[in-house]
Amino acid sequence: MSHESELRATIAAITAPGKGILAADESTPTITKRFNGVGIESTPQTRRAYRLLLSNAPDADRYLSGVILYEETLEQADDAGVPLPKVLEQRGIVPGIKVDKGTTPLPNADGDLITQGLDGLGERLAGYRKQGARFAKWREVYPITDRNPTRLGIRANAEVLARYAAICQSEGVVPIVEPEVLIDGDHSLERCAEVTDAVLHAVFAALYRHRVLLEGMVLKPNMVLPGNKFAGGKAAPDVVAKATLDVLKRNVPAAVPTINFLSGGQAPEEATANLNAMNRLEPNAPWVLSFSYARALQDPVMRAWSGNAGNVARAQQIFDHRLRMNSLARQGKWTEAEERA
């Protein structure tokens, strides 16, 4: 099978009707911080137990088309010795892998960041493929201040995302391209829209320069939201939906098959309501509008589990509920009544 055929086959699986992607790719420091927040000791054993809880949830295969894993998880196995990527694969869920190496300050662009990890990426991807990964994820972040992101920051981050995507496709791996305009700050929704517009414009110009096959990629952007310290508070779902779709329609070619939003600090129900509003507003959008959430799917699950084996069944019920709510939102069918049912 050619690389292009592989890419298209993976995209077909990822875009299965009513499904989305779980981001379970927290690095060890990140998941340790989240575990500590709910009183769970972070060890290889507890991290394995938690990710098995998610992978084995009864309805995961009904609502998840893919799961983004971290390197540690890619190498772990269940109690029967089955590698975790295989556990997912056997349920019809595509395993993916986070491949970036985190951010560092961008020289001569005070306040902006750039993501590391391009060196040796092709070789790493070849190894991840042997372990079962069929797609990858790379995140660039854009803080909003009065001067950020700078023009240099926008261009440099776009170039890195495009280089990553091209390397992935050369290995037959679908790239998730994740440019995240951060929610941190007191900026307005309009300011977020302005920055997101500039970021996506630069990203797709870079993808074009690097001859990335748009039909063989996933876009994972932020929604257009006011900052989490904005004096005017949160925006209504209809407002978020219109602002986000306006920016997407100006910048994202119809050849891109799917847009799987990050939750980016939104509360679980908030992320669901905003996704639902987009699918109601644009039921015939040129792209699938779905989810690739981490905290918006996991926070209530982690709290319910609390590292206690006796809580697994209850935590999985909560996880399945959040998955079903976002599946409904992907179809524009979520309601508050369904949420409470």
Predicted confidence band of residue 1 (pLDDT cuts 50, 70, 90): low
Specify the pLDDT at position 2: 78
Specify the pLDDT at position 137: 98
Q: Which backbone phi and psi does 286 adopt, to 5 degrees? A: -70, -15
- pLDDT tens track for 99-146: 999 999 999 999 999 999 999 999 999 999 999 999 999 999 999 999
Catalytic residues: 178, 220
Average model confidence (pLDDT) for the chain?
97
Measured CA distances, 228 to 35, 175, 197, 300, 308 (Å): 23, 29, 19, 20, 32
Q: Do 316 and 57 form a contact (C-beta atoms < 8 A)?
A: yes
Mean pLDDT value across residues 146-153: 97
Q: Do 110 and 151 form a contact (C-beta atoms < 8 A)?
A: no
- pLDDT tens track for 72-82: 999 999 999 99
Specify the pLDDT at position 341: 79
**Is the pLDDT higher at 340 or at 252?**
252
At residue 3, does pLDDT exceed 90? Answer: no
Mean pLDDT value across residues 162-191: 98
At residue 23, does pLDDT exceed 80? Answer: yes
- Bridging pattern class, strands 135-142 and 218-219: unpaired
pTM (2 decimals)? 0.97
User: Cis peptide before 149, with omega less than 30 degrees from 0?
Assistant: yes
